[in-house]
């Protein structure tokens, strides 16, 4: 059907043509510019070629085509937390690119960054958080619809080879004398479609099913190295060997808890001469009495604690280290008596047998250390407990957000990257002295209020005029974290040649020895 004459006669730019799209509404009659000539047929007859749309004929008038609001891009975005996370993830992204394809590495680091920015964020909200923060500037063009994320996490969990390769890259950075703390935690998962969810040893207390999460943590660098998950009903001792084997841990000193016996990884220790361990013994272990480990031989002070210690070499060329904390011994003794009074079951013989073990701990190792060094190594292991605390509270990873086995594995891998970034942020907060008066969540909330224009200079400065409703104390916070530079040039611009001049004294000098005024 031809375009009506009254439409074709409407004034419009020259060298254009009106086309009827047959769609009723404002876009029915489209005005397109002539883009050139095309020669068709055997005789090469010239025919006009239409170009881009420049407007429409609507209500008898030519209306130019303007950009749609749906195509608009934001002028400013949330900057503070995004810049902080980005500053601690350069090497992680580089390691990911060494193993995964570039699109996959971008998606992993983006998901991990968003989980730090917005703890417990649902997959359906990832795209909205991405588009309102500078993460979309640092990692552009990442598809983050809910379906895309779910499919990606499932594929990531399926690809165990690349995940292990990434752990291998991380392991290569560990020095031989680094101490590797290993511990586990239970993560709530009531899914009925995966084989990892099961009732754990704490089922009676929690009333729900769990999965078991094991982490390896480098005490020297204060950050996790790798993680893996096991069924919730799997005890730590049975998962220990599989975790060390899958993680490709071949050097360092493993500092584990009582639930991780060295006998479980004896074959791995024999194959890797640079891998050692320091593990506490149970108080009923026969070797404690055999080598008289409660007969202490030396004392020292550490972190305000009075510690007595003993070191002994065993028949199988292993080393035992025993310690007693005087204050802790008093607390355990008091707790024992209070419990006996509460339950009315005091036994004199039991009391006498337990007296010498109150406040004690005995370690086994295949390496020789000074007693004080062995004690400090295990004390530092408790930093891993802080990691789990932040994992469950600050990052809110205490439950899984996916259902299938492979999806849980993929989500755990992304959560590991988020935890590494969080540990680095916490360390920076500690160095900057920000934890004294504020919590982690409060600092992150303040930083998220710092908005900045997307076309701002790459090196932020307080006076560059690119900040959006950012408060003074937030600027100071950004400067303490080295995310922005302070404005030191203001006074110099006002008086660039200003110099301090010592005032000249005018008048008679005070006579030496003159008596003081009454």
508: confidence class by pLDDT, cuts 50, 70, 90: low
Which pLDDT score is estimated for 121?
Answer: 86
Q: Coil, strand, or helix at residue 39? A: strand
Which pLDDT score is estimated for 389?
Answer: 66
Rounded to two decimals, what is the model's pTM? Answer: 0.74
506: confidence class by pLDDT, cuts 50, 70, 90: low
Length of the chain: 518
Phi and psi based region of residue 475 (left: phi greater than 0; alpha: psi -120 to 50; beta: remaining): alpha
Every domain of the chain and the residues it spans: 5-71, 261-380
Pairing of strands 16-20, 29-40: antiparallel
Q: What is the pLDDT of residues 44-70, one digit of tens each?
A: 888 888 889 989 999 889 999 887 766
Rounded CA-CA distance 436/439 in Å is 8
Which pLDDT score is estimated for 319?
Answer: 93
Rounded CA-CA distance 402/382 in Å is 30
134: confidence class by pLDDT, cuts 50, 70, 90: very high
Which pLDDT score is estimated for 175?
Answer: 77
Pairing of strands 319-325, 298-302: unpaired
Residue 500 has pLDDT above 90, yes or no: no
Q: What is the pLDDT of residues 157-169, one digit of tens each?
A: 899 899 989 988 8
Which pLDDT score is estimated for 190?
Answer: 62
Q: What is the pLDDT of residues 265-319, one digit of tens each?
A: 888 888 888 888 888 998 888 999 899 999 999 999 887 888 999 999 998 889 9
C-beta neighbour count of 75 within 10 angstroms: 10
Q: What is the pLDDT of residues 73-110, one digit of tens each?
A: 788 999 999 999 999 999 999 999 999 999 999 999 99
491: confidence class by pLDDT, cuts 50, 70, 90: very low
Which pLDDT score is estimated for 392?
Answer: 59
Q: What is the dihedral of CA 366, 371, 373, 377, to 10 degrees?
A: 60
Pairing of strands 29-40, 360-365: unpaired
Residue 499 has pLDDT above 70, yes or no: no
Q: When comparing pLDDT for 262 and 388, which is higher?
A: 262
Q: When comparing pLDDT for 491 and 207, which is higher?
A: 207
Mean pLDDT of the chain: 84
C-beta neighbour count of 232 within 10 angstroms: 23
431, 278, 252, 446: which is closest to 363 by C-alpha?
278
Which pLDDT score is estimated for 71?
Answer: 67
Please name the helix (run of DSSP H) or strand (run of DSSP E) that holds residue 325, with its range, or none.
Answer: strand 319-325
* CB-neighbour burial class of residue 29 (10 A; exposed 0-12, middle 13-18, buried 19+): buried
Contacts of 138 (CB under 8 A, 6+ apart): 82, 86
Please name the helix (run of DSSP H) or strand (run of DSSP E) that holds residue 267, with its range, or none.
Answer: helix 266-271
386: confidence class by pLDDT, cuts 50, 70, 90: low
Q: When comparing pLDDT for 507 and 59, which is higher?
A: 59
């Amino acid at each position: 059907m031809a375009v009506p004459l009254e439409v074709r006669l409407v004034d419009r730019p020259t060298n254009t043509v009106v086309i009827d799209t047959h769609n009723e509404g404002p876009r029915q009659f489209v005005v397109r510019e002539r883009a050139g000539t095309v020669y068709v047929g055997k005789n090469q007859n010239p025919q006009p070629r239409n170009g881009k749309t420049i407007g429409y004929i609507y209500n008898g008038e030519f209306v130019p085509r303007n950009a749609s609001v749906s195509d608009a891009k934001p002028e400013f975005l949330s900057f503070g937390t995004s810049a902080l996370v980005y500053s601690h993830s350069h090497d992680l992204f580089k390691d990911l690119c060494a193993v995964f394809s570039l699109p996959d590495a971008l998606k992993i680091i983006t998901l991990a960054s968003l989980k730090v920015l917005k703890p417990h964020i649902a997959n359906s909200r990832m795209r909205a958080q991405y588009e309102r923060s500078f993460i979309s500037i640092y990692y552009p063009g990442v598809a983050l619809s809910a379906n895309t994320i779910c499919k990606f996490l499932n594929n990531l969990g399926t690809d165990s080879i690349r995940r292990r390769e990434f752990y291998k890259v991380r392991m290569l950075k560990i020095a031989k004398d680094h101490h590797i703390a290993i511990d586990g935690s239970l993560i709530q998962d009531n899914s009925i479609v995966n084989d990892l969810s099961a009732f754990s040893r704490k089922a009676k207390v929690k009333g729900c099913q769990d999965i078991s999460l094991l982490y390896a943590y480098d005490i020297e660098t204060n950050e996790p190295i790798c993680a893996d998950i096991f069924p919730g009903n799997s005890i730590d001792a049975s998962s220990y060997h599989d975790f060390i084997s899958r993680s490709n841990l071949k050097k360092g000193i493993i500092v584990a808890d009582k639930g991780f016996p060295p006998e479980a990884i004896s074959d791995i220790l024999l194959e890797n001469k640079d891998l050692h361990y320091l593990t506490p013994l149970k108080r009923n272990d026969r070797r404690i009495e055999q080598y008289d480990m409660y007969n202490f031989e030396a004392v020292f002070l550490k972190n305000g604690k009075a510690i007595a210690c003993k070191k002994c070499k065993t028949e199988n060329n292993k080393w035992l280290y025993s310690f007693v904390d005087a204050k802790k011994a008093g607390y355990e003794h008091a707790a024992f008596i209070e419990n006996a009074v509460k339950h009315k079951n005091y036994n004199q013989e039991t009391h006498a047998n337990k007296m010498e073990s109150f406040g004690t701990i005995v370690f086994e190792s295949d390496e020789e250390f000074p007693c004080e060094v062995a004690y400090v190594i295990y004390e530092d292991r408790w930093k891993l407990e802080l990691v789990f605390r932040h994992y469950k509270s600050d990052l809110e990873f205490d439950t899984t957000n996916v259902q299938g086995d492979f999806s849980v594995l993929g989500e755990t891998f992304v959560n590991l990257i988020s935890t590494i970034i969080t540990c680095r942020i916490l360390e920076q907060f500690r160095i900057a002295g920000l934890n004294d008066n504020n919590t982690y969540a409060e600092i992150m909330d303040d930083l998220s209020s710092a908005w900045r224009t997307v076309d701002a200079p790459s090196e932020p400065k307080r006076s560059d005029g690119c900040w959006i409703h950012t408060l003074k104390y937030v600027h100071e916070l950004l400067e303490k974290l080295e995310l922005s530079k302070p404005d030191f040039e203001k006074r110099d611009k006002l008086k660039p040649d200003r110099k301090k001049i010592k005032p000249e004294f005018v008048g008679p000098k005070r006579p030496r020895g003159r008596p003081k005024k009454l």
